[in-house]
Structure formats: C-alpha cells, structure tokens
Amino acid sequence: LGKLPRRKGGRPEFKFPRFGTPEEVDYYGLLAQIEAAKQLNIPRVVLVSSMGGTDKDNFLNTIGVKTDGTGGQILMWKRKGENALVESGLDYTIIHPGGLLDESGGKRRLVLGVDDELLKREVRNIPREDVAEVCVQSLLCDGARMRAFDIIADPAGEGEATTDFEGLFASETRSYDYGKDPGEPMAALPYGIDI
C-alpha cells in the first residue's frame, strides 16, 4: 500500500464524449427520433427514461457539468425531450424505471407511481427484464397509452408477481406532470442542431 500514488481527494471528474452530451443525446437525439417516427408513420413510441426528473439537484444532473454551467443535467435534458414527445402528437408511453437490477424478471410485484413519489420508498429498484416486459406490455395494453409513469418492483417475496399488466396500468391513473420539472437546462448549443 505504501507504493500507491497519493491523489487529491474529492469527486472524480467526468466528461462526455464528443456528440455524447445529454443535450445532444437525450434531447436532440430524441427530437430526431420523434421526427423520424412522424415521417415513417410509426403507430406507437415507447421511451425508457429515468426517475428523478423533478429534482434539479439530483446527483445525475451534476455529472459532467462544466464551470460555465453547461453539460451534464442528464435528467433535465431527458425531461425536455420527453416533453417534446408528449407534445408531438405521437401515441406514446414514457417509462421511468427505478434503479436497474441484473436479476430475472417476472418474480416481483411491480408498482407504478408518478412525479418521483416512488423515490421516497426505501426499495426503489426493478429488474431489467421487468422493464423490458413493461415496454412490450405498453405496446399491447391501452391503459399505457399517452402516459408517463415511474415503475419499481417490490422486494422479492413481497406480494405476488405482476402478470396482469392492464391491471397494473389501471392501478395508477395519473401521468407524470411535466409542469413539475425543475426548469430549463443550460444549453451548450443555444442554436440547436439541424434535425
């Protein structure tokens, strides 16, 4: 251990790759997908995003922020893109999963919520396989149309595994309130990108 280099303490630095910032990927990239979906007459769009978008101070918004305030703001750019999808006129479902688990799906009770209310729970994660199943079921169930919601799974063994997805979507009738978003993210590309 005596030979390990000593490094100044503090938070590690993080940089996004060229053309890989949240503004470019999560906002302008989604705008391009929305435009393509319209041109191709795609009947339904299912978007997987992230919980935490109502909190400007969420840790994910601080990753990669430059000294001028641009960069980073992942969740804020995601919400701005989601709002564009909501206003696009396309048929959509937006899913905000909790922390993703590398575990088998189909074994837990799934829980819906909105506006990051589920972040108040002690356990707020979900197997990736369950998120994938919710995406597929969102295409098949009318109860998931034109909605944005958060989703987590109860701990294994608590309650019966979700199999009735129409019932799951009916268990929470509200949709994410984009009016609760914490404001505009700081644009590094004030003139946008041609789409």
Quote the pLDDT of residue 159: 93
Beta carbons of 125 and 177 less than 8 angstroms apart:
no
Which segments in the chain show pLDDT lower than 70? 1-13, 190-191, 195
- Residue 104 a catalytic site member: no
Span between the terminal Cα atoms of the chain, in Å: 53
Please choose, from the candidates 96, 95, 93, the residue with its C-alpha nearest in 3D space to the C-alpha of residue 45: 93
pLDDT, position 15: 77
Specify the pLDDT at position 1: 47
Radius of gyration for the alpha carbons in the chain, expressed in angstroms and rounded: 19
**AA letter at 33:** Q
User: What pLDDT, on the 0 to 100 scale, is given for residue 187?
Assistant: 85
What's the confidence (pLDDT) of residue 8? 63
Q: State the catalytic residue, choosing from 49, 50, 138, 175.
A: 50
